[in-house]
């Protein structure tokens, strides 16, 4: 799938949502440097969760939930206001959609489930 196909799919699935419109409006004002910084911020949050997993801590540990919170905050900071409920929905997509799960699994086997579980633990704690 190409970037244009992903964009078309996202518009088809979420184009009528406030989050999609907010993300599109923010993106219009971003430079390439901004986009790279957004990607870096998300990667740092993912690596924070990965480090917790590799340390052998559980997904509902304070450290894992801090990584999940950093992940959620990076979405809110850069793309759209990501509520805990929305974040939990994304977590489900990370294990249900093969494209997302493959991204996490190529970093570390089991990471997609760990990210999912950390996000859900964080959402339950914060909601």
| Averaged pLDDT of the chain | 89
Residue 15 lies in a domain: no
Looking at per-residue pLDDT, the higher value among 13 and 47 belongs to 47
Burial class (CB in 10 A: 0-12, 13-18, 19+), 59: buried
CA 75 centroid distance within chain? 7
CATH at residue 90: 1.10.490.50
**Quick one: pLDDT band at residue 4, thresholds 50, 70, 90?**
very low
Given a contact cutoff of 8 angstroms between Cβ atoms, the answer to whether 49 and 67 are in contact is yes
Total domain count for the chain?
Answer: 1
Residue 26 lies in a domain: no
Residue 7 lies in a domain: no
What pTM, to 2 d.p., does this model score?
0.85
Residue 42 lies in a domain: yes
- In the prediction, which pLDDT does 124 show? 95
Q: What percent of the chain has pLDDT over 90?
A: 72
8-12, 29-33, 106-110: range with highest mean pLDDT: 106-110
Residue 57 lies in a domain: yes
Residue 22 lies in a domain: no
Identify the three-state secondary structure at position 16.
coil
């Amino acid at each position: 799938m190409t970037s244009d196909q992903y964009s078309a799919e996202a518009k088809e699935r979420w184009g009528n949502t406030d989050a999609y419109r907010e993300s599109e409006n923010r993106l219009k004002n971003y430079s390439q440097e901004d986009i790279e910084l957004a990607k870096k911020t998300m990667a740092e949050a993912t690596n924070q969760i990965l480090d917790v997993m590799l340390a052998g801590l559980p997904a509902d540990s304070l450290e894992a939930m801090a990584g999940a919170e950093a992940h959620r905050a990076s979405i809110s900071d850069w793309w759209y206001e990501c509520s805990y409920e929305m974040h939990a929905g994304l977590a489900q997509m990370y294990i249900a959609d093969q494209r997302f799960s493959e991204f996490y699994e190529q970093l570390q086997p089991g990471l997609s489930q760990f990210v999912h579980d950390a996000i859900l633990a964080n959402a339950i704690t914060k909601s």
